[in-house]
Chains A and B, each alone.
Chain A
Amino acid sequence: DAGITQSPRHKVTETGTPVTLRCHQTENHRYMYWYRQDPGHGLRLIHYSYGVKDTDKGEVSDGYSVSRSKTEDFLLTLESATSSQTSVYFCAISPGTSYEQFFGPGTRLTVL
């Protein structure tokens, strides 16, 4: 298995609170991604990174920010969580484009 961990694995929080999810890899892959998974939508890209301090928006980036200060860590922050951000969040990594992405175990986030 690709060396990807996500923390926390489960979190329940209240509307309006900030939340940070962490993705950590041991593969030294250049690309890292954050997706959310909701029933009927498959996976949708939130943000991605193509190197340290190099990030870009995905399809559903509103309300989310990211940071990557080290190759191995990619942080996803919900500045002020809303109930619509209740979802399962997956981190993925890949060595480059035209390569398969390897997914982390996921974080289940509930915003009350």
Chain B
Amino acid sequence: ELKVEQNPLFLSMQEGKNYTIYCNYSTTSDRLYWYRQDPGKSLESLFVLLSNGAVKQEGRLMASLDTKARLSTLHITAAVHDLSATYFCAVEGWEYGNKLVFGAGTILRVKS
């Protein structure tokens, strides 16, 4: 069974600070996705990571993938209030028919 674990599950941080969200998964995969969800809204695609060593950046967010460690990170640089949301990672397991398995999500609150 493919398991995806995110930590922390809740993160409260001050504006201007840096932090990292971790996504660990239990099986071989080189396909990982990050999504953002605002309260009461749908999921918005942030990053698509499709190979070992992949790094993508958009604004204050940077995502990376280490398939050997089965780990992806979402790094937040100089947080601003607008980044407050829930962030999900999702792993595509080829032996599971390429379906996505989601982590439980990290609730991020950026305080001014």
Which residues of A come within 8 Å of B, CB atoms?
40-45, 48, 56, 58-59, 90, 92, 97-106
Is B42 a contact partner of A105 (Cβ separation < 8 A)? yes
Any A CB within 8 A of the CB of B97: yes
User: In whole angstroms, what is the CA distance A95 to B44 when docked?
Assistant: 16
23 contacts between A and B (CB under 8 A): A42-B4, A42-B102, A42-B105, A43-B88, A43-B90, A43-B102, A45-B100, A45-B101, A90-B43, A97-B92, A97-B98, A98-B50, A98-B98, A100-B33, A100-B48, A101-B45, A101-B100, A103-B35, A103-B42, A103-B43, A104-B42, A105-B42, A106-B42
Q: In the complex, what distance in Å separates the CA atom of A45 from the CA atom of B101?
A: 8
Q: How many residues does chain B have at the interface if contact means C-beta atoms less than 8 Å apart?
A: 23
For the residues of B in contact with A, the DSSP-based class is strand
Contacting pair B45 A100 (CB below 8 A): yes
Known A-B contacts A90-B43, A98-B31, A102-B45; A45 and B88 likewise in contact (beta carbons under 8 Å):
no
Selected from A42, A59, A92, A106, the residue in CB contact (under 8 A) with B103 is A42
In the assembled complex, which residues on chain A have CB atoms less than 8 Å from the CB atom of B60?
Answer: none
> Do B43 and A42 have beta carbons less than 8 Å apart?
no
Q: Which B residues are CB-close (under 8 A) to A104?
A: 42
Q: Any chain A CB within 8 A of the CB of B99?
A: yes
